[in-house]
Structure 1
Amino acid sequence: MTSWLMALIAFVVFFLGYHFYSRFIAERLFQLDPDYRTPSRRFEDGVDFVPTNKYVLWGHHFTSVAGAAPIIGPAIAMIWGWGPALAWVLIGTVFMAGIHDFGTLWISVRNRGQSIGAIARNVISPRALTLFLLIIFFLLLMVNAVFAVAIGTLFSTFPESVLPYWLQIPIAIAIGFLVYRRQWGIVLPSLVGLAALLGLVYAGTIVPLELPKEMAGYSSTAWWVLIMLGYGAIASRLPVWLLLQPRDFINSHLLFVCLVLVYLGVFIGQPEIVAPMYNEAVPDDAPPLLPLLFVTIACGAISGFHGLVSSGTSSKQLRYETDARFVGYLGSTGEGLLAVAAILATAAGFATVGDWNDHYGTWAQASSKGIAAFVQGAGNHVENLGIPVEVATTFMSMMVVAFAATTLDTSMRLQRFILGEIGRQYRMPALGNINFATVIVFLSCAALAFFADPNNPGAGGMVLWPLFGTTNQLTAGLSLLILTLVLWHLKRPIIFTLVPFLFLGVMTAWSMVINIGGYLADGNMLLLVIGGGILVLNVWLVLEGVNALRHSREASEMLDMGDG
């Protein structure tokens, strides 16, 4: 298959999925009501509950869920060949991610903007809330640790991205002030901000910024990890209108430009696919394709983190219930396009088959250099448009950093919400204190980032990726279980959520057992305890769900149908 044909197939599949399947979901399963009073209008507070234009909210949602994960996962999974990776991204996006993201957004809107974990209490049992909240807390913990390490690695590898990233923050704050305090329209300021950011990308190639290779016994990557976690903690406390929304809207434009450039570069340059469709010479240290493919590529196919964003921040900003299809399903489709771009960058972005084989010579090498492979490969595609490769790679690294950071502070905000819900559940008011909860989030994420890999403190956190992917998919499966139970009680078709739930349940439990065996063999007790605990919590919660299905409740007990 040629590179341009791969891209064309992806566009056609995603278009058909959104045009037909998402409409079926909206009309038959969720039965969206344009007159329903959403939580953003019922509980507007100017901080978390903010009625938002669907295009602006789509930008926030898209950039929050995209991050670096749909780049890292496919780039690593290419070790098995581009065929399995592409098939899983296309099928997973259309038939699993779309209904998962759309569904968790819808059900949260119908439950006063509560998180999917809190909804588990109403749908399954009060005990289910605790189980789900613990699983979500561990997932967010790994999201923050992994993304902070990914950003630190990029800053160390591509110092040209440092200047444009940090100067993007005051630009976003200025836009937020103009739009929400001076009542300017969002389009013009965001376009001006995007233009300024593109100019800064060029400036970054002229003025690269680096930290010393080592300070106080820690590498520059480790220090960047601490800096990014500190930034994320501060950003997570700010009102969403001040930084989160305007920066996400700029980033949505940035990602759109990135995707256009990469795909144009593919169609114009028509680079040769040097990666095998199915790799028959997989390195000895690589795990088996089944089931690890389905957790290595999480974001970009289906991701439990998306349900946390949908039910955590996006549901509190959705102005009309009918906007959920555009924000939820189309958001997952956009991430699928990013995952396909990552596949194209790592399948056709190397000059020769030998270069590709050198990069994917070992599982450890593929895991640690996945982002770098995407940045370099995508930069090579953009070079086909006449853009200097140095500028192109800086632009790509800046884009990855921007989205990883967006996910980081959204995730830290969500983790603070989860701590607050745990505090309310167990009457620990301190966990609901914004300052105390933020400190707990920062310390726990930093501890995991620094101690997950004893041989490389703070800089080797990509050892977390398999555990992150598995926990992520377990969470997605549990969200689908909640959605299935709700549809069952509403007497609506459940096959469209039940099949994805069963598939993910089998693949992720199988993967977690393999991961736990590896941690036991390596003597990594920290990850062994975390992985084992998450698996126990997951099995327990599924059993609670089965029990709830046997003891059916009325739908009115589960869905807040009032104020419609």
Structure 2
Amino acid sequence: MSSIILMVLGLGGMALGFFVYSKFLAHVVFKLSDSFKTPAEEFEDGIDFVPTNKFVLWGHHFTSVAGAAPIVGPAIAVIWGWLPAFLWVTLGTIFFAGVHDFGAIWASVRNKAKSVGTLTGEVVGGRARAIFSIVIFLVLLMVNAVFGVVIAKLLINNPGAVVPVWGAIAVALVIGQAIYRAKMSLALVSIVGVIALYFLIYIGPSMPVSLPESVAGLSPSAAWIIILFVYAAIASLLPVWVLLQPRDYINGLQLFVGLAALYAAVLIANPTVVAPMINVDVPAGTPSMIPLLFVTIACGAISGFHGLVASGTTSKQLAKESDARFVGYFGATGEGALALAAIIAATAGFASLADWQAMYHSFGQGGVLAFVNGGATILSAGTGLDMAVAATMLTVMAALFAGTTMDTGLRLQRYIFQEWGEIYNIKWMAKPLPATLLSVGTCLALAFGAGGADGSGGLLIWPLFGTTNQLLAGLTLLVVTVMLVRKGSPTFYTLAPLVFVLAMSLFALLIQLKGFYDKADWFLFTMDLVVLVAAIFVTLECIAALKRAKAEMRLSSAGD
């Protein structure tokens, strides 16, 4: 099987989705209007509410939602064969992720940039909001705690990535000042910024940085995790234009350059896909493809975390409502392109089927390692790039996106605590600094309290991330659908994906529940049960709200 065929079909389908389907959604479903005053204009404060150029905002949204997940999920899911992963990523991007991200931004912008959790309270009801906020908090806790571990491991395994990963922060700070203070040309700043990033990637392998075996009594992994959370706390308190926006924007450009290089290498080398189309000989212990495929690949097809970013930070920076299509739908398209690259690297970056099977000897194997090793092999074969430099480039790509997701995730977690402070009249919690400290504290408590001295506790509840995250996506689409009903807009285009995602997620939760019971893993069994009950309750509440909205529309039509 030629990898070029996968690339052309996948990217071609996603391009059609953006240029055709997203226009239909903008005009017929969401009915965007630039006469509508966005929250960024109405509440501009120079900190969180900042009207932003759509290209810069796209960079923020895209890199915040991308992270390492669209690499890890697809590069694990190919264990069932390349075809199921390819179809879910391609069709999911077009009909699921694009609609979800676009719709979440629109819904938040139309409601003063309120988060999806707050919107649930207004659109569905207070009880649903209270329970939904627990699901949201769990997703953010999982993302922040786990990505800290992921980045720490990447920096330890590839010391040559340390200089470019941390150097990118300095580049972002300069870019923010150049764009907002010096008012320099965005094109010029973008070119210089990308050159600076790739120069850092080039010199990284020659300047490796490794932490000593003990840092104040901590292991290198634990030390990196604490350093990362200190940085993320500072970043979450800074105005978005100082670091968050420019860091996400330049990382977005860097990713597209990296993806272009990888796809160009595919065109030149045309590596053969050695993995089976459908793997009928999966390793022992591999779960059923249905429904686990649809929760193993979340980011890259559809992800509830995107709705948190869309309604948490992106909606506060949208300058014009029409920009929601480019930022939301095209942001999802960019992530789909990354997931497709991960599939190609993890199936065509091996010399033989035996080599591929050696990597995928059990479920959960592959992931970032398969992407970096396979992608570096393709890059080296297609462009002549040194293997060490190619591996560093892909490692930095993964680490930078995990870092930007962690930045945004901690800021969103801070927003959750602030919202709780306002809802329950806890004045000190509603302030940014205490809310940030609570966010960092809960993440570190999970990391070290559950994981011990190495800080890997976030991995303990990670098995629940896929299902919890996809449930969040379905519930976000439910909120958007209720809003569309009340506005008299077509609902099929959000209702169809939400029914599918909720069904697959609930099915997966039940399968996992049985698995945890069989293993006598009572902690995860309890967590799974809590998420399952919460999801069912919020779903019933949303269905009731949907029925009420339809009844209100019928009464309104009868009155007219």
The whole-number CA distance in structure 2 between the counterparts of 1:32 and 1:235 is 32
The whole-number CA distance in structure 1 between the counterparts of 2:222 and 2:85 is 31
Match status 1:428 vs 2:464: no
Q: Which amino acid aligns with 1:534?
A: V
The whole-number CA distance in structure 1 between the counterparts of 2:329 and 2:252 is 16
Match of 1:560 in 2: none
Mapped contact 2:107–2:480 kept (Cα < 8 A):
yes
Out of 13-22 and 213-222, give the one that drifted further: 213-222
In the superposition, the TM-score normalised over structure 1's length comes to: 0.94
Q: 1:344 to 1:555 in 2, by over 3 A?
A: farther
Match of 1:468 in 2: 465
Match status 1:338 vs 2:335: no
What SS does the corresponding residue of 2:383 show, helix, strand or coil?
A: coil
Residues 113-150 of structure 1: CA distance to partner in whole angstroms, max 9, x if unpaired? 10111111111112222122111111111111121111
Match status 1:494 vs 2:511: no
Match of 1:279 in 2: 279
Out of 322-331 and 439-448, give the one that drifted further: 439-448
Match of 1:543 in 2: 540
Which runs of structure 2 are paired with 1:81-230 in the superposition (5 Å)?
A: 81-213=81-213, 219-230=219-230
The whole-number CA distance in structure 1 between the counterparts of 2:315 and 2:467 is 25
Q: Which amino acid aligns with 2:547?
A: R
1:415, distance to aligned residue in structure 2 (A)? 0.7
Q: 1:123 to 1:507 in 2, by over 3 A?
A: same
Match of 2:392 in 1: 394
Mapped contact 1:146–1:464 kept (Cα < 8 A):
no
Residues 201-239 of structure 1: CA distance to partner in whole angstroms, max 9, x if unpaired? 121110111123455775422332222122211211111
Match of 2:558 in 1: none
Q: Which amino acid aligns with 2:443?
A: C
What SS does the corresponding residue of 1:432 show, helix, strand or coil?
A: coil
1:516, distance to aligned residue in structure 2 (A)? 2.7
Mapped contact 1:102–1:325 kept (Cα < 8 A):
yes
Equivalent position to 1:480, from 460, 471, 477:
477
Mapped contact 2:48–2:317 kept (Cα < 8 A):
yes
Match of 1:258 in 2: 258
Q: Which amino acid aligns with 2:53?
A: N
Q: 1:543 to 1:307 in 2, by over 3 A?
A: same
Mapped contact 1:65–1:309 kept (Cα < 8 A):
yes
Equivalent position to 1:438, from 413, 436, 439:
436
Out of 186-195 and 503-512, give the one that drifted further: 186-195
Mapped contact 1:295–1:466 kept (Cα < 8 A):
no
Please list every run of 5 or more consecutive structure 1 residues that lacks an aligned counterpart in the other structure. Answer: 557-564
Mapped contact 1:205–1:394 kept (Cα < 8 A):
yes
Mapped contact 2:151–2:403 kept (Cα < 8 A):
yes
1:515, distance to aligned residue in structure 2 (A)? 2.2
Mapped contact 1:452–1:464 kept (Cα < 8 A):
no
The whole-number CA distance in structure 2 between the counterparts of 1:272 and 1:492 is 46
Please list every run of 5 or more consecutive structure 2 residues that lacks an aligned counterpart in the other structure. Answer: 554-560
What SS does the corresponding residue of 1:319 show, helix, strand or coil?
A: coil
Mapped contact 2:300–2:339 kept (Cα < 8 A):
yes
Residues 459-504 of structure 1: CA distance to partner in whole angstroms, max 9, x if unpaired? 4744544311111100000001111111112222111111111111
The whole-number CA distance in structure 2 between the counterparts of 1:281 and 1:58 is 41
Match of 2:310 in 1: 310
Match status 1:268 vs 2:268: yes
Q: 1:553 to 1:130 in 2, by over 3 A?
A: farther
The whole-number CA distance in structure 2 between the counterparts of 1:192 and 1:319 is 25
1:11, distance to aligned residue in structure 2 (A)? 1.5
Q: Which amino acid aligns with 1:81?
A: G
Out of 137-146 and 464-473, give the one that drifted further: 464-473
1:191, distance to aligned residue in structure 2 (A)? 1.9
Q: Which amino acid aligns with 1:104?
A: A
The whole-number CA distance in structure 2 between the counterparts of 1:310 and 1:365 is 31
1:286, distance to aligned residue in structure 2 (A)? 1.7
Match of 1:48 in 2: 48
The whole-number CA distance in structure 1 between the counterparts of 2:197 and 2:546 is 51
Q: Which amino acid aligns with 2:248?
A: D
The whole-number CA distance in structure 2 between the counterparts of 1:472 and 1:222 is 26
What SS does the corresponding residue of 2:241 show, helix, strand or coil?
A: helix
Mapped contact 1:191–1:250 kept (Cα < 8 A):
no
What SS does the corresponding residue of 1:212 show, helix, strand or coil?
A: coil
What SS does the corresponding residue of 1:241 show, helix, strand or coil?
A: coil
Q: 1:208 to 1:310 in 2, by over 3 A?
A: same
Match of 1:552 in 2: 549
The whole-number CA distance in structure 2 between the counterparts of 1:80 and 1:226 is 36
The whole-number CA distance in structure 2 between the counterparts of 1:343 and 1:48 is 36
The whole-number CA distance in structure 2 between the counterparts of 1:306 and 1:53 is 20
What SS does the corresponding residue of 1:429 show, helix, strand or coil?
A: coil
Q: Which amino acid aligns with 2:238?
A: L
The whole-number CA distance in structure 1 between the counterparts of 2:524 and 2:432 is 28
1:443, distance to aligned residue in structure 2 (A)? 1.6
Match of 2:556 in 1: none
The whole-number CA distance in structure 1 between the counterparts of 2:488 and 2:95 is 21
Match of 1:561 in 2: none
The whole-number CA distance in structure 2 between the counterparts of 1:450 and 1:296 is 26
Mapped contact 1:193–1:250 kept (Cα < 8 A):
yes
1:451, distance to aligned residue in structure 2 (A)? 4.9
Q: 1:12 to 1:136 in 2, by over 3 A?
A: same
1:180, distance to aligned residue in structure 2 (A)? 1.3
Q: 1:120 to 1:105 in 2, by over 3 A?
A: same
Q: 1:207 to 1:440 in 2, by over 3 A?
A: same
Match of 2:370 in 1: 373
Mapped contact 2:77–2:85 kept (Cα < 8 A):
yes
Match of 2:67 in 1: 67
Match of 1:562 in 2: none
Out of 223-232 and 38-47, give the one that drifted further: 223-232
What SS does the corresponding residue of 1:276 show, helix, strand or coil?
A: coil
Q: Which amino acid aligns with 1:399?
A: M
Residues 71-109 of structure 1: CA distance to partner in whole angstroms, max 9, x if unpaired? 000011111111110010011110011110000000111
Mapped contact 1:142–1:448 kept (Cα < 8 A):
no
What is the root-mean-square deviation in Å for CA atoms of aligned residues? 1.8
What SS does the corresponding residue of 1:365 show, helix, strand or coil?
A: coil
1:309, distance to aligned residue in structure 2 (A)? 0.7
Q: Which amino acid aligns with 1:518?
A: G
Q: Which amino acid aligns with 2:489?
A: R
Match of 1:411 in 2: 409
